[in-house]
């Protein structure tokens, strides 16, 4: 199901754009590909159990669902899916290395 992809806030959008001209160009390319995939299918990733959604993200982004898109080299992109009755919206929440992901979700 097609969707429109947005960033959770301006800070995340700026962080993404800053990757383009940094040492993390590879991460920028991976996230860009993920965004393309999510525009084609908002449910491309793996849904995270509601009980595992970090409370901080629930409060900050007012979300009730969380999805994980696996990027290369252990990186993860997190997003939420919303429906405004006209179009499905995908909201990019964050991306984390595998180590940060394990800490955040207490694995």
Cα gap 58→37, rounded to integer Å = 24
pLDDT band at 1 (very low <50, low <70, confident <90, very high): confident
Residue 77 predicted with pLDDT over 90: yes
Residue ranges of the domains in the chain?
Answer: 3-104
pTM recorded for the entire structure = 0.85
pLDDT at 10: 93
Assigned CATH for 3-104? 3.30.2310.20
pLDDT at 85: 64
Q: Judging by beta carbons within 10 Å of its beta carbon (0-12, 13-18, 19+), is residue 67 exposed, middle or buried?
A: buried
């Amino acid at each position: 199901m097609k969707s429109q992809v947005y960033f959770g806030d301006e800070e995340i959008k700026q962080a993404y754009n800053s990757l383009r001209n940094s040492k993390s160009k590879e991460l920028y390319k991976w996230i860009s590909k993920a965004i393309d995939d999510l525009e084609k299918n908002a449910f491309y990733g793996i849904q995270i159990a509601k009980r595992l959604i970090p409370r901080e993200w629930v409060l900050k982004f007012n979300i009730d669902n969380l999805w994980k898109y696996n990027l290369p080299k252990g990186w993860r992109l997190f997003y939420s899916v919303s429906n405004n009755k006209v179009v499905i919206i995908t909201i990019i929440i964050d991306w984390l290395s595998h180590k940060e992901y394990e800490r955040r979700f207490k694995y």
